[in-house]
Structure 1
Amino acid sequence: MTAKLVTGGLLAAGISAGVIAAESANWWPNLVLCTAFAVVAAIVWLITRQPPGKHPILYVVAVAALCQLPGLTTAPITSTDAYRYAWDGRVQLSGSSPYSHVPLDDALARLRDPVLFPGLSPTDKSGVVGPPRVPHDAAAVTALSTDDPRTRINRPRVPTIYPPVAQAFFTAVALVTPWSAGTLGLQLAAALLAVVLTALLAVELRRRGRDPRWAAMWGWSPIVALEAGSAAHIDVLAALLIVAAVIAAARRKPVVAGLLLGAAAGVKLLPLLLLPAFTSRRLHTPLVAVGTFVASYLPHLLAAGTLVVGFLPGYLTQEGFSDGSSRSAILALVLPPEARQLAAGVLAVSLAVLAIHRHGREPIAVTCCWLYGAALLITTPTYPWYGLPLIALAVLAGRLEWLVVPVAAYLAYASFGHDVRQGLIHLAAAAVVVTTVALRHRPNAGREFDVPVEALRH
């Protein structure tokens, strides 16, 4: 292995450490993150111009593991979601349901510990008792979902929002994690998943005749280091399952693809948006995916009844779906609130029809990439880590222009509360994508915007 390859890998790992440090110290964290992402992308591009060496996959995976290490040295930075994950797993191990109880419920006081509840001991009374009730009024939902200084768990007065496969993951991690370790078990698990996905991408890229080192665009990404090893976001598991589903579909294993896609939807609901990309005449994959997703809810439905929907109605209320509006930052630039949801719905249906129409005409990885990316641009969700699966899909599909969408999401997140600025940031990302796609499809387009089609069709 050449000195340039070693230097590039070590530099990428050092950049991840720098991002974690900047986030911890709040030194312009999102700007540093986006700049670091661009630098790492340049490093990966330069590395792919070097001879691959003897073990390119091992090289990429080893550096990916190094990139995850800095995040494991601190508590979660970008959000407190991991504390909720740890709590949900602990509740399930106790024989209760996180859909039936909120974290502050005194009925679960015996499960409190100083890490998750620094201001509330098992003998203290929180004053919260009984099954959760999520109101429909936006103001009431906002008031109910505020944080409480007695616990590190976010929204401790509302039930969980996470679907059953995510809950199974939380439970498995909680089973082997001591309470005193807090979120470390989840961080380690997320870091491991990120490294496994790096290996999966590298192996699949080589099978398709492409340079496996492009998998470093995922594995060495400072965004992945921040949201996996540090924040332990469950979106990493969703990304792994989505990529596995796409690979299975490309290898003509529709039932396996359906099981994996349904499992991904059981982690985060967003993968359901990819169903049109898997639709064929036989409909095997979509039916298996929906069946898997529904079946995952059945045990919780028996245990919690209608409470199994958790905080999902409240979340949709906060995002503006209950009053007919939508928080879409791009649509907000040109449409009044009452028209945004209709416009978003029309765009979503149009994209679904296009994805079905494109079935068999382009690699399924490409369809999933633009379908998922376009969905993020239409809805512009508040939380930027929702874009993690898009990073993996862009690498697999060879459509790296879509990487600007998750990067833009972090810049928009830093501008929270400035609606016009957020909209312009997302619009700029959309413009980059549209321009690149237009250049790719122009007559006699150069190869710099694409990878060989024959390689993608494997």
Structure 2
Amino acid sequence: MPGRRRLAPAALAWPLVAANLGLLLVFDLARHMALTLALLGAAFLGLLFVASRLEAAPVPAGGAIILGALLVRLPLLPLPPTLSDDVLRYLWDGKVAAAGMNPYALAPEAEKLTPLRDEIWRNLPHKEVPTVYPPLSLAAFSIAIRLPFPMPAWKLMATGADLAACWLLVLTALRLGLPAGRTAWYAWNPLVALEVAGMGHVDALGVAAVVAAVLLLLPRSRPLAAGTAAAAGILAKLVPLAALPMWARQSGRPGRFLAAALGLTAVAALPVVAATGGIPPGLVTYGVSWEFNGPLFEPLWRLLDAIHAAPALARGLDHLKTLTGIYHGLNPLYPYLYPQFLAKLLLAAGMAAAVVLSLRERDPVAGTGRLFGRLLLCSATVYPWYLLWVLPWAALRRDVAWLALSGLILLSYLPQLAGVALWPWVYLGIWGPFFGMLWWRRRYERPFGAGPHSHPSTHPAGERGALRHSSANFLPLLPGRVGGGMGEEGRGDEGQPAGSVDGPDGGPT
């Protein structure tokens, strides 16, 4: 009976389960996008209703959170991946690896891979681009492709990793003295369930490893174990690489942490580097060509275009060649003098600044959220599933702006499925409310306990107290006095190199 009482709060998930059963009936979500968005909107309203009740549950809700997360995901597992075809690329790359070929060096269109071509290959976009996925993800893909039903098998694997992330997040909340119910903002989030159980995105593997790393960095830090978890995150997807300097400082023993993280990463990455002669070509193509829905990128490249920055730089390059007499060394730069690439260079500098700023962070939870949030805001490409890297920390801090964004970003599927560039009204509908919430918080709100002469506590107990009692918003997540957000990554515009990509669907993400 006590066990049943502890699991009883899982019944609160019924509005979300009902909405997801509706999605199962729709089945082809891309063909019925209006109905899909309506059902997802209803699911988010259900989350608003149940999350606060879970936080106030009189009995420990950790097991109920996981049971509810499972129930929310089960109806989505049979869905075909019509909103994103990334899972097709996962299975193809896994098939290539399982056949003993190298997907980092061989693009799907390579003649050497002709004997492997099948229905998956025929539906692949961007066959000219080799894989971008790190070795751990590739190993998981190759396991899935060997199983009797590869796509359901992969989605079950990804969902298992997702549920593991939910459980680790519950443990993190309890370690911080927070109610386990707060993790429902992530574990029961409709976006998370859709993108992992429904569309099968590999990000779930990396997020689970990152939550494990942060948990292991909390009081009584275990640097070797945390470094191992961080390496697993990097080898699933490269995002956590940016957090290594911050986590190393927070571990208390940076040498041990980095020995585990960088050592394991190097062992797995060296064969890839040796096979490709450096950075894998798929990553280069992705970095140069992919762009969609970047909140700072979209206005920045248009501003650079309006002020004719690229022609001005070209004239400067002409002048430099005349002064120095260096021609062959500078000529290769001209193809990259277009607004989108210049914007990416500026935002790459912003990402580097975010990594440097993260070195000041003492709290692994807030610091990880801030860093990943800033990286996402500086990215040229922001697909809906990229938010999975930020949402665990937004859930623990009950960050209204980022949690609202997890619902608003579903609007980006509208232009994607129409096969057109990002519509301005969709861009404004997604990012306008988000930045408005950040501005409101910076302008009108203060952190819990702040006064004219007070300073934020850096002691774990002080942080736990603030987290436990503050009602909505927590430490600033963008640079500034108060508030803010926590902050990853083509378009065939004139002057841009051939091969650039317009729109997100099917990209190597």
TM-score tier, shorter chain, comes to 0.7 to 0.9
Deviation at 1:3, TM superposition (A): 12
CA distance in 2 between partners of 1:3 and 1:300 (Å)? 46
Kindly report which structure 2 residues correspond to 1:168-317, keeping only aligned pairs within 5 A, or say none: 168-175=139-146, 177-178=147-148, 181-250=149-218, 251-280=220-249, 283-284=254-255, 285-286=257-258, 288-302=260-274, 304-306=275-277, 309-317=280-288
Q: Which runs of structure 2 are paired with 1:297-376 in the superposition (5 Å)?
A: 297-302=269-274, 304-306=275-277, 309-319=280-290, 328-332=297-301, 334-336=303-305, 337=339, 340-357=343-360, 359-360=361-362, 363-376=363-376
The whole-number CA distance in structure 2 between the counterparts of 1:312 and 1:33 is 35
* 1:15/1:222 contact within 8 Å kept: no
Residue 71 (structure 2) aligns with: 66
**Alpha-carbon deviations, 1:273-324, whole Å to 9, x = none?**
223432427533356434433322123344x342870411111221379xxx
In structure 2, list runs of 5 or more residues that go unmatched: 306-338, 452-465, 476-509
Partner of 1:9: 13
Secondary structure at the aligned position of 2:83 is classed as: coil
Of 457, 460, 470, which residue of structure 2 is paired with 1:447?
Answer: 470
Corresponding residue of 1:134: none
Whichever residue aligns with residue 48 of structure 2, its letter is A
Corresponding residue of 2:479: none
Q: Which amino acid aligns with 2:271?
A: P
Q: Deviations over 1:5-29 (max 9, x none)?
A: 4552122212223345552542326
Larger deviation, residues 366-375 vs 250-259:
250-259
Q: Percent identity?
A: 25
For 2:51 and 2:204, the matched residues in 1 are separated by 23
1:42 to 48, 51, 65: 48
Moved over 6 A (4+): none
Contact kept, 8 Å, 2:61 with 2:181, in 1: the verdict is: yes
**CA 1:167–1:380 in structure 2 vs 1: closer, same or farther (change >3 Å)?**
same
Residue of structure 2 in register with 1:404 after alignment = 404
2:73–2:193 Cα contact (<8 Å) kept:
yes
Alignment partners' CA distance in 1, 2:241 and 2:46: 31
In 2, Cα distance between the equivalents of 1:326 and 1:201?
A: 28
Which one of the candidate residues 421, 435, 440 is aligned to 1:435?
440
Correspondence for 1:94 = 99
Question: CA separation of 1:237/1:278 partners in 2, compared to 1, >3 Å: closer, same or farther?
Answer: same
> CA–CA distance in 1 between the matches of 2:409 and 2:289?
18
Write out per-residue CA displacement over residues 211-265 of structure 1, whole angstroms, 9 at most, x where no aligned residue.
1122222221211221111211001111111111111112412222222222212
| Structure 2 residue corresponding to 1:164, chosen from 96, 112, 135 | 135
CA distance in 2, matches of 1:159, 1:188: 25
The answer to whether the 8 A contact 2:94-2:142 is kept is yes
CA offset digits 1:137-156 (Å, max 9, x no partner): xxxxxxxxxxxxxx122322
Contact 1:33 1:223 (8 Å CA) reproduced: no
TM-score by length of 2: 0.71
Which amino acid in the other structure matches residue 298 of structure 1? L
Match of 2:482 in 1: none
Count, aligned residues: 408
Give the Å deviation of 1:188.
Answer: 0.9
C-alpha distance in structure 2 between counterparts of 1:292 and 1:427, whole Å: 41
In structure 2, what is the Cα distance between the partners aligned to 1:201 and 1:422? 32
Distance 1:4 1:66, change over 3 A: closer
Work out the CA distance in 1 between the residues paired with 2:116 and 2:410.
Answer: 35
Structure 1 partner of 2:22 = 18
**What TM-score results when the alignment is normalised by the length of structure 1?**
0.78
Judged with a 3 Å threshold, the aligned counterparts in structure 2 of structure 1 residues 370 and 27 are, in CA distance, closer, same or farther, namely same
**What amino acid does structure 2 have at the position aligned with 1:215?**
T
**8 Å Cα contact 1:19-1:32 kept in structure 2:** no
- Structure 1 unaligned blocks of 5 or more: 118-150, 453-458
State the 1:387 CA deviation.
1.4
Partner of 1:390: 390
Give the Cα separation in 1 of the matches to 2:432 and 2:371.
17
For 2:373 and 2:35, the matched residues in 1 are separated by 24
What is the distance in 2 between the residues matched to 1:227 and 1:351?
27
Deviation, structure 1 residue 32: 3.1
Q: Is the 8 A contact 1:165 1:263 kept in 2?
A: yes
1:203 partner letter:
L
